[in-house]
Amino acid sequence: MALEPQTRALLDAMLAAGASLDFGQMPPQEARRRMEANPIARGTAEPIAKVEDRRIPGPAGELGVRIYTPEASAPRPAIVYFHGGGWVLGNLDGSDAQCRALANAARCVVVSVDYRLAPEAKFPAPVEDCYAATRWVAQNAPDLGCDPRRIAVAGTSAGANLAAVVPLMARDRGGIPQLAFQVLVYPITDGSMNTRSYRENGQGYFLTAASMAWFWKHYIHDDNDRFHPYAAPINAPDLRGLPPALVITAEYDPLRDEGEAYAERLRAAGVPVTCTRYDGTIHSFVSMPNLEVGKRAFNQIVAALKETLG
């Protein structure tokens, strides 16, 4: 189908305002300044019972997290959240509105992770940070008012890549921590960049093939990293024993096919999976303001979290 009308209007407005992800030869620092000056979508920051910024132990010094606690009886479920931005862009402020909304709607404590960014910290630094933060949440669940048996990981785009890899790492490292669910919203799972959706949607739909090449260039040391399972989880030889998953994709997104292929790999390995493609829309649609299709996807995410985590 064609782009649905709200997405078409928003895409046209963003492109007219210069809010695209085509960075050309732009240095990462300049791209960050550009995105912060022209954010994709901050949304309205909902009131929430408590927000706390903390520093926790990380693999290379202290690591920042922002903890969102809703009005709900303890012990609550917990969601460890990883922001998008191609491993190069993004921060806690950029995902603040989404995390507030998620915590309130799902009645979960949300711990948003300020992982190190590439190229200053290339693979595997960001995912090691995310794994360390997830372990910290599990180890400190009682102090956070959380149930350590009801911890999910979630993220969008590159954050969904990290949310897919953390359960792999946890399984491979003795099953610690135990995770109950993974929410992967238009995840990066394949470093080959050679799918039908890349060919169909590689330009003109906000996230482009050129921008993905830019992100991968800054994230990895060399092409060998591109196929490492902790960078591209579709290359993991065995996906058995991972937590149930919700995978969200968008019709007009270069990442569509690799997200759906990863869902099929999970399903074939015996992992319970729900995979939903939202037609007529583009990458980042869930966090774009005032899109009804994004609200439907957000409601699906919340319903899945409530059903799985209680």
Least confident of 13-22, 38-47, 206-215, 237-246: 38-47
Please report, for residues 214, 220, 222, 274, the alpha-carbon distance to residue 228 in angstroms, rounded to integers and kept in the order given.
Answer: 18, 10, 11, 25
**What are the two backbone dihedrals, phi and then psi, of residue 283, each rounded to the nearest 5 degrees?**
-55, 145
Tokens standing for residue 59: 């693999």
pLDDT recorded at residue 224:
95
Cα dihedral 141, 147, 151, 154 sign: negative
List pLDDT tens digits, range 73-114.
Answer: 889 999 999 999 999 999 999 999 999 999 999 999 999 999
Q: Which two tokens stand for residue 230?
A: 């902790």
For residue 214, the one-letter residue type is W
Give Cβ neighbours of residue 200 (< 8 Å, ≥ 6 apart): none
CATH number at residue 64: 3.40.50.1820
Exactly one of 83, 197, 283, 284 is catalytic; which is it?
Answer: 283
Burial 54-91 (b: 16+ CB within 10 A, else e): eebebeeeebbbbbbbbebeebbbbbbbbbbbbbbbbb
The fraction of the chain above a pLDDT of 70, given in percent, is 97
pLDDT, average across residues 42-51: 88
129 is an active site residue: no
The pTM (predicted TM-score) of the whole model is 0.97
Spatial strand order of the sheet with 109-114 comes to 50-58, 61-69, 109-114, 76-82, 146-156, 181-185, 245-252, 273-282
Set 157, 211, 284, 287: catalytic member = 157
pLDDT of residue 40: 54
Q: If pLDDT is split at 50, 70 and 90, which confidence band does 34 have?
A: confident
* pLDDT given for residue 159 in this prediction: 98
Question: What range does the domain containing 252 cover?
Answer: 5-309
- Mean pLDDT calculated for residue range 251-263: 98
pLDDT in the model for residue 38: 62
pLDDT band at 15 (very low <50, low <70, confident <90, very high): confident
pLDDT value of position 289? 79
Per-residue tokens: 26 = 């732009």
Q: What percent of the chain has pLDDT over 90?
A: 88
pLDDT for 87 equals 98
C-alpha distances out from residue 78 to 23, 49, 134, Å: 35, 15, 10
Q: What is the mean pLDDT of the chain?
A: 95
Quick one: pLDDT at residue 42?
61
pLDDT on residue 285: 96
Per the annotation, the verdict on 223 as an active-site residue is no
Q: Judging by beta carbons within 10 Å of its beta carbon (0-12, 13-18, 19+), is residue 142 exposed, middle or buried?
A: exposed
| 290 pLDDT tier (thresholds 50, 70, 90) | confident
State how many domains the chain has: 1
211 is catalytic: no
* 177-198 average pLDDT score: 98
- Of 129, 147, 190, 253, catalytic: 253
